[in-house]
Amino acid sequence: MQQDEHAVAGAGRLRKILVDAIPYDHGASGISVYVRNVIHALEQAGHDVTVLAAPDDVSAFPESRVLVAPRWASGAIGSIVFHAWSLPRLLRKGDYDFCLVTAANRRFPAKCPIPVIGTVHDLAQCRVKGKYDNFRNFYLNQVLARWVRRGALGVVAISKSTLQDIVEYWKIPTSRISLIYNGLSLPAKETAGFLTRCGLAKGSYILYVSRLEHPAKNHLRLIQAYEQLPKELTDKYSLVLIGSPWKNAEALTKYVETSPLRDKIHFPG
């Protein structure tokens, strides 16, 4: 199928869009925050949005039209199979202008019967040794990369680093990649008392927001870099690592227990 990028972009035209919200991680990841905000922005702009969601995540989209994926597609293998071969059939039948795959670094259809745009958040497995096992690395770096390279009308990268990795490791030309940084939506509710709730004193901080996953999120290197800063900087700035404990999080807390700057490094949760 010869896909025309201008047919998707248009000039202010409202679109009928299927937004793939799988995987959503039960709302407990950065990708889930991205999914919620993208859906909200598209709906606010007036587009006709249908959200493709796993059965357990339907309640996360109470104001959206939701297409529920089958229960068997909830697990990792089932989700891969569903995206590869069942999603293309849904796209053919749905009369959508295009599909937005919100985590194309994890799932993507094997064939794209309509224009499909995929957001790639990172290719950390290409740079962080041991992040995933051999099977998952093969799927991500060989199978998924080929599907995205062959089928995506366009790819969204959320950082320059990710864009460079897509070009280097997935061999997708820059002409097909759009660099769109993640935004920041300030909470509508009152934020007073946040420092107290997190057990932090008023002051200046170096803040890193990510789940505590080692080595995937590179916290250890950040902590070690912080330890090498001049004393006048570490006296002024504490290091605050906000995020829920994840895989191997105990390796980070154990390291900090013996750090000379342990009183300046905080894990508020």
Which tens digit of pLDDT belongs to each residue from 183-231?
887 776 666 677 887 778 888 999 999 889 898 888 999 999 999 999 9
65: Cβ contacts below 8 Å, ≥ 6 apart: 49, 50, 51
Domains of the chain by residue range: 13-179, 194-266
pLDDT at 190: 65
What kind of fold does domain 13-179 have according to CATH?
Answer: Rossmann fold (3.40.50)
- Whole-number pLDDT of residue 195: 81
pLDDT of residue 52: 98
Res 5: pLDDT: 43
Q: What is the pLDDT of residue 129?
A: 81
Q: Which residues, given as ranges, of the chain have pLDDT below 70?
A: 1-12, 188-192
Task: State residue 207's pLDDT score.
Answer: 94
CA distance 48 to 14: 7
pTM: 0.84
- To which residue do tokens 């409202």 refer? 14
Q: Which residues contact 4 (CB under 8 A, 6 or more apart)?
A: 115
